[in-house]
Amino acid sequence: MGYTVGEKILLAHAPGAKSIAPGDFIMAKVDFCFGNDITAPIAIQEFKKLGKKKVFNQKRIALIPDHFLPAKDMRSANQAAVLKKFAKEYGIVNYFEIGEMGVEHALLPERGLILPGDLVVGADSHTCTHGALGAFTTGVGSTDLAYAMATGQCWFKVPETIKLVFKGRTRKWVCGKDLILHAIGDLGVAGARYKSLEITGDTIDQLPMDDRFTMCNMAIEAGAKNGIICADKTTESYVKKAVRKYKQQRKAYKVYKSDEDAVYADVREYNTSKLEPVVASPHLPSNALPISELKNIKINQAVIGSCTNGRISDLKQAAAVLKNRKVDPNTRLIIIPATQAIYKEAVQEGYAETFIKAGAVFCTPSCGPCLGGHMGILSEGEVAIATTNRNFVGRMGHPKSFVYLSNPAIAAASAVKGKVAHPADL
Amino acid sequence: MKLKGKVFKFGDDINTDEIIPARYLNTSDPDELARHCMEDADPGFVKRKQSGDIIVAGENFGCGSSREHAPIAIKASGISCVIAKSFARIFYRNAINIGLPIFTCPAAALALKQGCQAAVDANNGTISKSGQKKIYQSEIFPGFIRDIMKTGGLMAYARKSK
């Protein structure tokens, strides 16, 4: 009986294990671990309780103050300071000060710090994003991160796997976000709970890395432990370029593929050729509907950014929609590139100018309003469309505000119209 | 260990943004987090609950973010345990890692109503409703997890296996 790509990676990281099966509990070696300004302070506090003088590997840990930075208030500044102090004290190489900092799940792949075949834990639920690199990457809590920083290990329950097969050539304005929202709509927010989502099919073969990251990013919104796309030529060329650009010493990686006779808990096929852009209505990401079914939904704010859709191709799409157009006078448009490198590229390519001329604000990298942190909190009764990942009650601000989730082109078109809109409506 | 308290009932898919909204995540102080526990699911919860009370929920409790602040807020607010039809994965491991007792038991989650008194034997995972003889058996934790729980959470486990 064969293994899935995820099972192969877990087995390769479990010392002494000769075989593996869903349901097994294993203690496995991780290649990399990381946390942010919300989760790492608790991890650091727990780590210190162990009285260890060293972390397991100074180069295999990242501390990224991305959530409330630039510090939104004094307490956030204090939390971020904990990371900086710890990084200095323990010689952690991958600490990123603002100016270099980006949203963790965009920054780490961009820097070539996560490689195909890796086993990675991050104290952030969207750690599943990095599965787009053909790695097994999953979100854990702060105490798990403390344990990983100390020992280089983490406990895992080997998950069952659901295979999602996307077939067909997508239409204009349909991207990775629409594919994954459509699948979450089908699976439900708990449909893949405790399970692994393996994302495959000829649609995926044609998909650029940015869209693959978006898809794996939202695996958690179906409850999944991880999302994974087997590494191919697209992945390898992305990884090699990143490793070279940032002169990473760790270059060797292994590409794992699922066996023909691997066992899946479920296989679902989606025909993508007829799919329209998908919008998820409040208050669950699984409330996913084709955009044509949403009529006259007025918005107060549009947000383009986050670990889901703050990459350069996302900004390119938004710029294509916003070129020579103006944001509706009753609507705010907030655009947040996910990393400093993306910010620079957006300036060089002229996207930043397009945004500003359209009447949008173009911000410094941060998680910002995605989780109701700062830079665009909603007031009571307000409605937003966002390229982010969650539309739970109170997620972007007031408990009585409303968030619709979409791809960047839809969010941009909606900002121009002042209501949920398709670029073809402009 | 016997846990006894009044039931506070919640529905399906209660997410970590409801358990502890991100606007309070600029601190890691358990007492302060406890003051906002369940705020966006039930704004009056903190005032009405008493030490020892029990949260009972539907499917997928604790979905969403990885914030350990969620089980920390519940534990620090004096809630003795959470019973649910099912738990979201990261919340499940966080609760185990920090020592918040959780019990997966669809039948008990259905039978226990808002405001009733419930009792839980944390040693064997049995749950009962005050005034009724029926005993509900929650899912037994695998041996590996029981070891972590017995030693008092993941950090205690790490110290022991050092």
| Residue A125 sits in the same domain as residue A238 | yes
Give the nearest partner residue to B68 out of A42, A150, A225, using CB atoms.
Answer: A42
A374: domain CATH number is 3.30.499.10
| Residue A196 sits in the same domain as residue A284 | no
| DSSP label of A370 | G
> Which of the residues B40, B89, B151 would you substitute to probe the A interface, choosing the one with the greatest number of A C-beta atoms within 10 Å?
B89
To the nearest whole Å, the CA of A32 is away from the closest chain B CA by 17
Cis amide linkage into residue A182, ω under 30° from 0: no
User: Given a cut of 80, is residue B161 above it in pLDDT?
Assistant: no
| Residue A262 sits in the same domain as residue A369 | no
pLDDT of the residue at B146: 84
Task: Write down the H helix ranges in A19-130.
Answer: 40-49, 74-89, 104-110
To the nearest whole Å, the CA of A286 is away from the closest chain B CA by 11
Q: Which two tokens stand for residue A19?
A: 């075989």
pLDDT of the residue at B149: 81
| Residue A257 sits in the same domain as residue A324 | no
**Do the Cβ atoms of A79 and B26 come within 8 Å?**
yes
User: Given a cut of 90, is residue B141 above it in pLDDT?
Assistant: no
Chains A, B: CB contacts within 8 A come to 133
Report residue B148's pLDDT band, with 50, 70 and 90 as the boundaries.
Answer: confident
Q: Does A256 fall in a domain? A: yes
> Which of the residues A137, A143, A162 would you substitute to probe the B interface, choosing the one with the greatest number of B C-beta atoms within 10 Å?
A143
Q: Does A370 fall in a domain? A: yes
Confirm if A301 and A378 have CB atoms less than 8 A apart: yes
| Residue A178 sits in the same domain as residue A288 | no
User: Given a cut of 70, is residue B162 above it in pLDDT?
Assistant: no
Confirm if A37 and A80 have CB atoms less than 8 A apart: yes
d(CA B104, CA A51): 34
Interface predicted TM-score of the whole assembly (ipTM), two decimals: 0.94
Q: Does A426 fall in a domain? A: no
Per-residue pLDDT of A79-122, as tens digits, reads 999 999 999 999 999 999 999 999 999 999 999 999 999 999 99
A288-292 long-range CB contacts below 8 Å, 24 or more apart? Answer: A288/A181, A288/A182, A288/A184, A288/A185, A289/A185, A291/A406, A291/A410, A291/A420, A291/A422, A292/A422
| Residue A100 sits in the same domain as residue A152 | yes
| Residue A308 sits in the same domain as residue A337 | yes
The residue of chain B nearest to residue A139, with distances taken between CA atoms, is B66
The residue of chain A nearest to residue B94, with distances taken between CA atoms, is A141
Q: What percent of chain A has pLDDT over 70?
A: 100
| Residue A140 sits in the same domain as residue A205 | yes
User: Which residues in chain B touch residue A39, judged by CB atoms under 8 angstroms apart?
Assistant: 66-68
| Residue A209 sits in the same domain as residue A354 | no
pLDDT of the residue at A271: 98
To the nearest whole Å, the CA of B22 is away from the closest chain A CA by 6
User: Given a cut of 90, is residue B152 above it in pLDDT?
Assistant: no
- The average pLDDT across A360-366 equals 98
Cα-Cα-Cα-Cα dihedral sign, residues B81, B82, B86, B88 = negative
User: Which residues in chain B touch residue A45, judged by CB atoms under 8 angstroms apart?
Assistant: 28
Per-residue pLDDT of A287-333, as tens digits, reads 999 999 999 999 999 999 999 999 999 999 999 999 999 999 999 99
Q: Does A27 fall in a domain? A: yes
Q: Residue B131, by phi and psi: left (phi above 0), alpha (psi -120 to 50) or beta?
A: left
Give the nearest partner residue to A141 out of B13, B18, B94, using CB atoms.
Answer: B94
pLDDT of the residue at A174: 98
User: Which residues in chain A touch residue B143, judged by CB atoms under 8 angstroms apart?
Assistant: 25
Confirm if B30 and B76 have CB atoms less than 8 A apart: yes
User: Given a cut of 90, is residue B16 above it in pLDDT?
Assistant: yes
Per-residue pLDDT of B103-127, as tens digits, reads 999 999 999 999 999 999 998 999 9
User: Given a cut of 90, is residue A220 above it in pLDDT?
Assistant: yes
User: Given a cut of 90, is residue B158 above it in pLDDT?
Assistant: no
> Which of the residues B65, B69, B85, B86 would you substitute to probe the A interface, choosing the one with the greatest number of A C-beta atoms within 10 Å?
B65
User: Which residues in chain B touch residue A196, judged by CB atoms under 8 angstroms apart?
Assistant: none
pLDDT of the residue at B159: 85
Q: Does A313 fall in a domain? A: yes
Q: What percent of chain A has pLDDT over 90?
A: 99
d(CA B85, CA A141): 22
Q: Does A54 fall in a domain? A: yes
**Do the Cβ atoms of A189 and B13 come within 8 Å?**
yes
**Number of domains, chain A:** 2
To the nearest whole Å, the CA of B6 is away from the closest chain A CA by 26
Q: Examine the fold and report which residue of A238, A269, A300 is the final residue of a domain before the chain moves on.
A: A269
Q: Examine the fold and report which residue of A269, A291, A306 is the final residue of a domain before the chain moves on.
A: A269
| Residue A73 sits in the same domain as residue A202 | yes
d(CA A373, CA A364): 14
User: Given a cut of 90, is residue A351 above it in pLDDT?
Assistant: yes
The residue of chain B nearest to residue A400, with distances taken between CA atoms, is B40
Per-residue pLDDT of A265-286, as tens digits, reads 999 999 999 999 999 999 999 9
| DSSP label of A363 | P
d(CA A119, CA A169): 32
Any idea what the Cα angle at residue A129 is, between residues A220 and A122, rounded to 5°?
A: 85
User: Which residues in chain B touch residue A227, judged by CB atoms under 8 angstroms apart?
Assistant: none
pLDDT of the residue at B1: 83
- The average pLDDT across A136-157 equals 97
| Residue A377 sits in the same domain as residue A329 | yes
Q: Examine the fold and report which residue of A233, A249, A269 is the final residue of a domain before the chain moves on.
A: A269
Domain ranges, residue A327:
279-421
**Do the Cβ atoms of B94 and A79 come within 8 Å?**
no
Report residue A1's pLDDT band, with 50, 70 and 90 as the boundaries.
Answer: confident
Q: Does A298 fall in a domain? A: yes
- The average pLDDT across A392-415 equals 97
**Do the Cβ atoms of A371 and B88 come within 8 Å?**
no
Confirm if A2 and A263 have CB atoms less than 8 A apart: yes
| Residue A202 sits in the same domain as residue A300 | no
Confirm if A202 and A178 have CB atoms less than 8 A apart: no
Q: Does A274 fall in a domain? A: no
Residue B67, SS3?
coil
Mean pLDDT over the full length of chain A: 97
- The average pLDDT across A251-259 equals 98
